[in-house]
Structure 1
């Protein structure tokens, strides 16, 4: 478990992390979201004592990171896949980490096989592609078989098979009762991976809730209804106290009602439906709505003058 209590980090006049408090619990994949410049990377660096907080504290299983004996056995982290000596082979890079933390040499081969790098284990890391570098970083995070795992943009550079693999791996690790904390800008992937979300903007906590609750609270869901008797359908809905608004291509949009109930209502009045489809809000829509006021860098459409 990771506990953040009133955590703050200031760089000159800029408050990068602003009195952030939350708990990352074991047994679920917790997603860490926020716009660029929100303070995600700074927060993760403070968790690992790579940056010192201006205020507040971080505890990992009740201790500061610096107090952990052989920390790779407790916390495995991928923050920067390029943090490797390019002249070392994948095998030697992991072996150095293993020896520094009292990890058996046999574990090196195990994690290389797990991430699919056994065929290139003796090749120098400087020749690795972006995806291969990511796999090596993931292997380093898994090396100590830790109870807590932190990943910053873990799917960066991975092909579709690799993305599916890391998603399945993170869910499996959480299923074993481990703490899994992952930051990513890929909303579609986060929606498939995370069970719980922590969202920050401009260094402040915006949400700490389950994936389902986050989407339900911050985005609109509705039922799309289309019929050759559209006006009659609208009258029937209105008579039942249900508000329908015009939607795309002449369809009706109904919010706050169950699709099955709407279908049964139309059937009772012998109204033919050509479409009755629940439209679920996406994580991306919910995220954009919640963080609209916290975006630091705004791009413009068009090419400019």
Structure 2
């Protein structure tokens, strides 16, 4: 179990993590979500003792990280897949980690096989692709057979087979009763993997809830209807106080989860329906809605480039403009 209590980290005037309190419990995959700059990486670094909190406390199974005698046997983590000495082979990298944490050497071969790197065990890490480096980082996290595992963007660089594999691995680890804490920007993947969500924005806790409750609380539903009796259905909906919008291709959409009511109205008025379905927001839509006010970096669509006309030539009277004009002429 990972327990945070009032965890705060300041860098001068900048508050990176702001009074975070939550618990990551065993037996489920807990997703850690937040926009860029929300404080996720800083929080994970403080859990591992790599950064010291300005205030508050974080404990791993009741102890601070520096109090753990052989830390890799308590918590395994992947924060930076490329944080490996390039001159070491995959096997030697894992072997020194094992020896420094009192882990039997046979675990090295076990985890190399688990992550699919046995064939390249004696190749140097500097030649590894990002996907191979991810697998090596996951092997290091599993090395001490810990009860707690923490992954930051574990699917980066993995191919579809690798993504499917890591998804299954995290679920199986949680099913064994382990604590699994994973950060990712891939909402579609998180929706398939996580059971519980911790969401932060600008360093503050925004949500600590189950996946199902998060989507239900921050999403909305729409009912899609298709019928050859469009006008009659519109009249029936209007009399019932329901507003329909044209969604194109002959489809009407009604906000809310009113499928049963619409079906009953259609039956009552003997209106034939070709489609009656409920569309609920995805995890990504729910996440965007919740964190809209906590996004630090906003991108804006660039305006279309002005044609090289009279106004542009007039603006190019300075040195830079002359350089652009010459380049254009020479091209």
Where on the TM-score scale, by shorter chain, does this alignment land: which range? over 0.9
Cα drift, residue 260 of structure 1: 4.5
Spell out the pairing of 1:166-245 with structure 2 (5 A cutoff).
166-239=166-239, 241-245=240-244
1:65-96: CA deviations, max 9, x gaps? 11111110110000001111110000000000
Contact 2:237–2:244 under 8 Å retained in 1: no
Contact 1:244 1:252 (8 Å CA) reproduced: no
Equivalence for 2:246: 247
Distance (Å, rounded) in 1 between the aligned partners of 2:262 and 2:64: 55
- 2:86 corresponds to: 86
Counterpart residue number, 1:289? 289
Q: Offset at 1:218? A: 1.2
Q: CA contact under 8 A between 1:58 and 1:64: conserved in structure 2? A: yes
Deviations 1:203-228 (A, max 9, x none): 00011111111111112112111212
Q: Deviations over 1:77-136 (max 9, x none)?
A: 000011111100000000000111111111100100000000000000000001000000
Summarize the alignment of residues 123-202 of structure 1 with structure 2, pairs less than 5 Å apart. 123-202=123-202
**Whole-Å separation in 1 of the counterparts to 2:151 and 2:210:** 19
Take 1:304 and 1:246, find their aligned partners in 2: how far apart are those partners?
32
> Which position in structure 2 is the counterpart of 1:25?
25
Summarize the Cα distance change of 1:304–1:198 in structure 2 as closer, same or farther, 3 Å threshold.
Answer: farther
- Cα 1:172–1:124, aligned 2, differ >3 Å: closer, same or farther? same
Aligned-partner Cα distance in 1 for 2:244–2:110 = 58
Work out the CA distance in 2 between the residues paired with 1:290 and 1:31.
15
Q: Deviations over 1:115-158 (max 9, x none)?
A: 00000000000000010000000000000111000000000000
Q: Per the alignment, do residues 242 and 100 of structure 1 end up closer, same or farther by CA in structure 2, a change over 3 Å counting?
A: farther
SS at match of 1:98: helix
Corresponding position of 2:114:
114
Number of residue equivalences:
304
| Structure 1 gap segments, 5+ residues each | none
1:258, 1:233 → 2: CA distance? 14
| Equivalent residue number for residue 2 of structure 1 | 2
**Is the 2:257–2:278 contact (alpha carbons within 8 Å) kept by the matching residues of 1?**
no
CA contact (8 A) 1:226 1:274 kept: yes
> How many angstroms apart in 2 are the aligned matches of 1:175 and 1:234?
49
User: Over aligned residues, Cα RMSD in angstroms?
Assistant: 1.4
Q: Is the 8 A contact 1:90 1:121 kept in 2?
A: yes
User: Which sections of structure 2, spanning at least 5 residues, go unmatched?
Assistant: 306-331
Give the 5 Å matches for 1:52-63: 52-63=52-63
Partner of 1:299: 299
Q: Quick check: which has more Rg, 1 or 2? A: 2
Specify the alignment match of 1:257 in structure 2: 257
Q: Secondary structure at 1:247's aligned position in 2? A: strand
Normalising to structure 2: TM-score of the pair? Answer: 0.89
* 1:242 and 1:254 in contact (8 A); partners too: no
For residues 179-224 of structure 1, the C-alpha deviation after alignment (integer angstroms, 9 at most, x for no partner) is 1000001111111111111110100001111111111111211211
Instruction: Quote how far apart the aligned CAs of 1:231 are.
Output: 2.2
- Partners in 2 of 1:141 and 1:53 — Cα distance? 23
The separation in 2 between residues aligned to 1:64 and 1:173, in whole angstroms, is 23
- Give the Cα–Cα distance (whole angstroms) in 2 for the partners of residues 146 and 262 of structure 1: 52
CA shift, 1:304, in A, is 6.2
| Cα distance, 1:242–1:121 mapped onto 2, change above 3 Å | farther
